[in-house]
Amino acid sequence: MNPDLTGKVALVTGGSRGLGRCMVSALAAAGADVIVTSRNAAACRDVAEQVSKESGRRALARACHLGRWDQIGGLVEDVYAEFGRVDVLVNNAGMSPLYESLDAVSEELFDKTVAVNLKGPFRLSTLIGTRMAGGSGGSIVSIASTAAIKPRPAYVPYAAAKAGLVAMSEGLARSFGPRVRANVIMAGPFATDITAGWDWDAFNARVKEFALGRIGRPEEITGAVLYLASDASSYTTGAVIRVDGGEP
């Protein structure tokens, strides 16, 4: 049974590229009207236009820097003014800046990493979750990473922020239940434009240890998103679903 999101409104952060772009298309194909948000206004508009043509659903483009607390309230107000509701929030935006060594991590880099991966999702989720709980309910889906439980030297601040996202989601489930469900997709590596600069010789050796022996395709995350966004997951909240190809 394909999830039916007809009449629902879904907001996806980081929706103009990578995994978020696939999520927007999948949610619209399932019947939802969608809001595409990222820092890049032009990219958001392009995606919204494409998705609207593909699906026939309404698609709103709205730029917002999720790392800036003072921008998030305006995003929420604009979305509710346009649609009157949000039924599905997908906290997908994230970033993992590179650094030479842990002692070289600057306060600016650390703060930026935590702001986009944790602080922004917290603010957006609490504003929208409060409205969901006071209205007809909804689903909050946060995209974490296996880094949250398997931190490596190259991305310690990112891993810490994603671990916080997991804790936050369970807190949201308890705070906004029973009308609002909050769950986490713990994603493994997926082949997107973001992974183009990776050291693939080293990474391919690691991927051979995965149960499925390969990196994920972006569209392979959408099944979990649609499950958690829809009534198919009506008794699932405070959960963490790993979509990682059996990463050891």
| DSSP-assigned letters across all residues of 121-178 | HHHHHHHHHHHHHHTT-EEEEEEEEGGGTS--GGGHHHHHHHHHHHHHHHHHHHHHTT
235 is catalytic: no
Q: Is residue 127 part of a domain?
A: yes
Q: Is residue 248 part of a domain?
A: no
What's the mean pLDDT in 51-65?
A: 98
Q: Is residue 4 part of a domain?
A: no
Q: Which of 99, 158, 227, 235 is catalytic?
A: 158
Each residue's pLDDT tens digit, 196-242: 666 666 677 788 899 999 999 999 999 999 999 999 999 999 999 99
Residues spanned by the domain of 13: 9-243
pLDDT at site 207? 87
Q: How many domains are there within the chain?
A: 1
Q: Is residue 176 part of a domain?
A: yes
Q: Is residue 2 part of a domain?
A: no
The CATH number assigned to the domain holding 155 equals 3.40.50.720
Instruction: Using a cut of 0.75, tell me whether the model's pTM lies above it.
Output: yes
What's the mean pLDDT in 94-114?
A: 96
Q: Is residue 1 part of a domain?
A: no
Estimate the share of the chain in helix, then strand, then coil, as percent rounded to the nearest 5.
50, 15, 35
Q: Is residue 47 part of a domain?
A: yes
What is the phi/psi pair of residue 207, to 5°? -65, -30
Q: Is residue 3 part of a domain?
A: no
